[in-house]
Amino acid sequence: MPQQSAVTVLAPLPPENRDRVLDALAHLAGPGRSALAFDRHPGLHFARLLLVEGGPSPTGAEIGPSLLYAADLDGSAEAHLRALADVSAEGLDRAFGSCTGYPERPDPDGRTAWLKAHRIPEAAFYVNTVGRGVSQVLAEEGLRRGLETYLDAHRADVAGLSPGQIHAVLRRHALADPQLRFGAVPARRPPVWWRTRERAHLVAVPLVLLPVAPLILLALPFVAVALRLHEVRDVPDRQRPDPAAVERLRAAEDRVGQNPFAAVGFLKPGPFRAVLTRVVLLAISYAVRHVLNRGDLAGVKTIHFARWVYLTPERMVFLSAYDGSLESYMNDFIDKVAWGLNAIFSNGIGYPPTVLLLWRGARQEDLFKDHLRNHQALNQVWWSAYDQLTALNTGSNAAIRTGLARRSLSDAEARAWLALL
Amino acid sequence: MARPALTAGNRRAGLAGAGTGAPPPVTDSGRRLDRADVQGLVGSGYGRLPEAVFLGLQVDDGAAGRRLLADLLPLVTSMAGDRADSALNVAVSHPGLGRLGMPQAALAGFSLEFAGGMAAPTRSAFLGDVGEQAPATWAWGGPHHPRVDLLLLLYARSAEELTAHRDSIRQRFPADGVREVVALPTTPVSPRDHLGFADGISQPAVTGLHGRSERGVALGEFLLGYPNAYGRRTGRPLLPAADDPGRVLPPAPRADAPDSVDLGRDGSYLVVRTLAVDVDAFWSHVHRWAARTGLPPEQVAAKMVGRWPDGTSLTVSRDHPLGDEPVDNDFRYHRDGDAAGLGCPIAAHVRRANPRDSLDPRPGSDASVRVNDRHRLIRRGRQYGPPPGTSDGTGPDGERGLHFLCLNANLSRQFEFVQHTWMDNPAFAGLHGSPDPIAGHHPPDGGGVFPLPADPVRHRLLDLPRFLRLRGGGYFFLPGVRALHHLASHPAHQSSVRDGKDRP
């Protein structure tokens, strides 16, 4: 049972090369799709390339454009970079060839070294279901299809049986079919060392914080006042999104069951917001690692992976892979987890006004949706290993396998299990 | 240019005739609904006027268009005058607003979806209007057809009266500058649709729409200018007060924009989609799967629709229609024991058009209903074409279907969301590869699947064809009555002056 990793590579490029890179990305998204060979990386869930536009920062510094590669994958990030430098060499050279310092005569070792040198850390990384690898997702979809096909043909034969007996019939069928046999065995649990480490981390963080807890409690009222003072001075963005820009984004959306999302923005200036953002990201990291790691990001069940990354100390990017349309994604945010969105994104310039970090903010639907569109970036290249499967689909497929792997089910259990098919 | 006479006498004309010869006076705080400012279609589908025809007009000359609009104003039916013997409502497309002289700044205040239009490539892709449903194949409203700038919706008590009503309106069309480019006839209102099912049962209750006692979805979900489900006023065009010298339009709330008037107030977005329905294909599919599953054909059809033909919900009565009048529509799927869809399948048409308490957060809870209610539509459709023959509609006897009309304040969160994320989404509510059994875009290779939950093990209907074919459509704006007056009187030179930027 593989653990999931994130890779983020950020490569600056000379501004005069921007259009050349865009051309290369258009080629790699279209006729030259095979050059990146993402399908030849077995544990790769999602991968994308996007051009992060340059421009002036709020403090006046000029930021150049850069090319960003992000991947969600099974196993180690380093191994993925090595494989990429070899298997995806042609596409890599084409995409990054115009970036500053890319090897003139690239070979696998040179590329790997360059990629590693440009790798940047994720401040927080959300995985829908920790441990569920690509091969498991694909195999369990095949299992569901196999069982559905069997039921389509044999429903009349089994309809007179009890639910528990039907489970037994389906289990026998799976065991007899080499393609489905794996489904009669439960998915492997994470290794003991990994579970021990996670448990240790789960406990250690509160233990370390415990001695300073009184200090934190004492400081909270002062932090709240300082926060309010910052909030009333914040200037929300009233800009409506540019229709042409929205049209460009829309043209790339909703082609398959999932969409990649990317948003880029500057943090509100000053040390207060800088520290607050760090603290919130640490809290998110802890929560997604130990609590929100079973198919549910605080009420939103459509996100496969998500990450927050510092591009510079004052500029962040948020990336995710989600099911359905951006409209439904934004509605989920507003209706189900507005407080969570506010906690992190209200540290970005132009966010709809918040009250004490968690309140209002995204609940101002029109302002929030405009803000998101204004900060959204186009993913010029995007790849998914299972682009028609929603997170709910993969979860229910896994539950089908879990039930099938049980030797027998009571009628009540079997009835609930059969409802998954 | 003909301007409506601003006489007090006309204001009460709603009771006598259709009546909005003068703009209703701007009243009070703007919190309460001013029925005289809302076109009648918002409040009712004119069920007591069984005959209807919809006329699409192209405006080539803005002045002629405004003149026609001014001539039609006395006939426009408001909610205050919806007891008349005939009715006329007027909707305008985004290009139509431009033709009538709306300045660019005002046009930019409308929603992006409306501005782009239903036939825009990104909207077509999103709504599933591709392949043989694509705008290029439509009978009206597509890229190869004349623009529909104005849509006139005419209603009357009988066929004769509708003809007279239509002729009296056509007489007002100017000889030049405005052309009728499409006429969409309808069949008289019937309790059943072409598939034989009671239609239009679930309409949202809207707070304050029909009086103070009505409680339900926020008024701002359907009418611009009022707080919506998030307590905010949906984006809409606000004009500088100077652009409204006659003080026809209501003032905009100061918080939104000081010294502005509200062109959107009391208006709503009108979605029109002409959907041809293949009745024969539907019933032959039903009979085929009835034979395979051993279920009665009526039950298979009811499972796909989600209601029995008489409108009884399958959640209320699983095994047979109740024949109640009116039908019990106060049910919820989870609360009333149908979470798994053993009564009404999760994939059924009506359950995905309005899932009630089926979805997150916490299915079965009021919170679930609250989120659901941010995606409601007021439906005002009419059937067209000959009713199918009695023998399950065999024999091709001409195209028939539904002019689907619905009203909402936010096209993206309401109509488009329902169409894309609920109806046409193969993964709706955790399903696998199952778009709406009737309205969904099933893959042409016969991959359409309809899971029919049963105890202990489900049926699955396979190889679903497409029963509906989109024949035309468009996004329109159904302005408030005052906004119609403003459009009719808006002098063309004013916008050109503004474009010249030499206004103070």
Domain contains B233: no
**Mean pLDDT lowest among A106-120, A286-300, B338-352:** A286-300
Mean pLDDT computed over A255-278:
96
pLDDT value for B16? 34
Residue of B nearest to A365 (CA): B230
B405 or B445, which is more confident? B405
- Residue B408 touches partner A, C-beta closer than 8 Å: no
Confidence of residue B20 (pLDDT cuts 50, 70, 90): low
Q: What are the pLDDT digits (tens) for B124-175?
A: 999 999 999 999 999 999 999 999 999 999 999 999 999 999 999 999 999 9
CB distance A151–B458 less than 8 Å? yes
pLDDT value for B29? 54
Confidence of residue A127 (pLDDT cuts 50, 70, 90): very high
Domain contains B322: yes
Residue A220's CB: how many other CB atoms inside 10 A?
Answer: 10
Q: Are A417 and A167 in contact (CB under 8 A)?
A: yes
- Residue B129 touches partner A, C-beta closer than 8 Å: no
Residue of B nearest to A396 (CA): B430
Report ipTM for this prediction.
0.96
Partner residue facing A336 (CB), from B360, B455, B456: B360
pLDDT value for A60? 87
B55 Cα to chain A: minimum distance (Å): 30
pLDDT value for B157? 97
Question: Does B395 have pLDDT greater than 50?
Answer: no
Q: Are B24 and B148 in contact (CB under 8 A)?
A: no
Domain contains B451: yes
Tally the residues of chain A: 421
Report which listed range, B134-138, B384-388, B444-448, is most confident: B134-138
Confidence of residue B27 (pLDDT cuts 50, 70, 90): low
Confidence of residue B10 (pLDDT cuts 50, 70, 90): very low
Q: What are the pLDDT digits (tens) for B239-257?
A: 999 999 888 999 998 777 7
Q: How far apart are CA A40 and CA A50, in angstroms?
A: 21
Domain contains B19: no
Partner residue facing A299 (CB), from B360, B421, B430: B360
pLDDT value for B491? 62
Residue A120's CB: how many other CB atoms inside 10 A?
Answer: 15
pLDDT value for A294? 84
Averaged confidence pLDDT in chain A: 96
Averaged confidence pLDDT in chain B: 89
Confidence of residue B445 (pLDDT cuts 50, 70, 90): confident
* Residue A1 CB-density burial (10 A; 0-12 exposed, 13-18 middle, 19+ buried): middle
pLDDT value for A293? 83
Q: How far apart are CA A73 and CA A90, in angstroms?
A: 20
Question: By C-alpha distance, which of B78, B266, B71, B82 is closest to B150?
Answer: B71
Mutate to test the interface with A, among B234, B360, B422, B455 (most CBs of A within 10 A): B360
pLDDT value for B2? 39
pLDDT value for B85? 94
Q: How far apart are CA B414 and CA B216, in angstroms?
A: 16
Domain contains B350: yes
Say whether B473 sits in a helix, a strand or coil: strand
Domain contains B461: yes
- Residue B360 touches partner A, C-beta closer than 8 Å: yes
Mean pLDDT computed over B458-485:
95
Partner residue facing B417 (CB), from A257, A327, A418: A327
Q: What is the total count of domains within chain B?
A: 1
Mean pLDDT computed over A227-243:
94
B352 Cα to chain A: minimum distance (Å): 15
Confidence of residue B214 (pLDDT cuts 50, 70, 90): confident
pLDDT value for B53? 98
Chain B hits for A364, CB-CB cut-off 8 Å, are 230, 232
Residue of B nearest to A336 (CA): B361
B2 or B385, which is more confident? B385
Question: Does A285 have pLDDT greater than 80?
Answer: yes
pLDDT value for B499? 36
Confidence of residue B481 (pLDDT cuts 50, 70, 90): very high
Mutate to test the interface with B, among A325, A371, A378, A409 (most CBs of B within 10 A): A325
The range of the structural domain enclosing residue B449 comes to 279-375+415-473
Q: How far apart are CA A104 and CA A89, in angstroms?
A: 13
pLDDT value for B17? 39
Domain contains B44: no
CB distance B459–A155 less than 8 Å? yes
Question: Does B497 have pLDDT greater than 50?
Answer: no
Percent of chain B residues topping a pLDDT of 90? 79
Q: What are the pLDDT digits (tens) for A40-74?
A: 999 999 999 999 999 899 988 899 999 999 999 99
CB distance A144–B457 less than 8 Å? no
Domain contains B337: yes
pLDDT value for B444? 76
CB distance B230–A336 less than 8 Å? no
Q: What are the pLDDT digits (tens) for A178-196?
A: 999 999 999 998 889 999 9
Q: What are the pLDDT digits (tens) for B171-208?
A: 999 999 999 999 999 999 998 999 999 988 889 999 99
Confidence of residue A173 (pLDDT cuts 50, 70, 90): very high
